[in-house]
Amino acid sequence: MCTAAVAAVSAGCAPQPVEQNLTIEFLRDPGTGGAIEIRAEVRLNRDAADQEDEAIQNRIDDIAAELANGTGPWHQRFDRLRDPASSGIDLRKEEGLISRFQRWAVMTEPGPALVDFFADTRIVPGLRGRRKLQKRRPTIGRAANRDPELQAGT
């Protein structure tokens, strides 16, 4: 996947002790006009960490405990989503230790879902659907005098 490829390139193709990926996929949904799947993945690569570095090992253990207890930031973000069409959690262990966590949700109202999901971050989603733009066209014409980008669209 594109996200994994970018993470591998930026990390020098070597696994990092903690890898986190977020994927947002826009789905076609004839019933609602669109839906999104939000998917978070955390990989704990204990072998990639310096076994002698106690701080790194403690951080991996802390993240594993948050994932297992449902108290980490990914759990909090997904818990804020209201009425997902579908959702799931996958927690994998290797030799009794958490090695991978995935959580996902499919939302049929992307705008409110993304706002809720990113509420604790500095990310502010902004969606402009075709219907909204068509309804706003008369207003855009008046604003076009001030904004060259809007002039090109009228």
- The overall average pLDDT reported for the chain is 78
Q: Tokens 């948050």, residue?
A: 66
Residue 21 identity (one-letter amino acid) = N
User: What pLDDT score was predicted for residue 31?
Assistant: 66
Token reading at 143: 């604003």
Q: pLDDT tens for residues 43-83?
A: 999 888 777 888 888 999 999 999 999 999 999 999 999 99
Q: Which position has the higher pLDDT, 86 or 15?
A: 86
What is the pLDDT averaged over residues 73-95?
95
Beta carbons within 8 Å of 71's beta carbon, 6+ residues apart: 65
pTM over 0.85: no
Q: Mean pLDDT, to the nearest integer, of 125-141?
A: 48
Q: Dig out the tokens for 23 from the structure.
A: 């994927």
Asked if pLDDT for residue 93 goes beyond 50, the answer is yes
The pLDDT of residue 15: 77
What's the CA gap between 44 and 42, in Å, rounded? 7
**Mean pLDDT of the region 33-52:** 88
Residue 5 has pLDDT above 50, yes or no: no
Please choose, from the candidates 90, 106, 86, 82, the residue with its C-alpha nearest in 3D space to the C-alpha of residue 26. Answer: 106
Q: What is the pLDDT at residue 51? A: 79
The answer to whether the CB of 118 falls within 8 A of the CB of 125 is: yes
**Residue 32 in this model has a pLDDT that exceeds 70:** no
Separation between Cα atoms, residue 5 and residue 48, nearest integer Å: 18
Please report, rounded to a whole number, the percentage of residues in the chain having pLDDT higher than 70: 70
Can you tell me the distance from the alpha carbon of 99 to that of 43, in angstroms, rounded to the nearest whole number?
A: 6
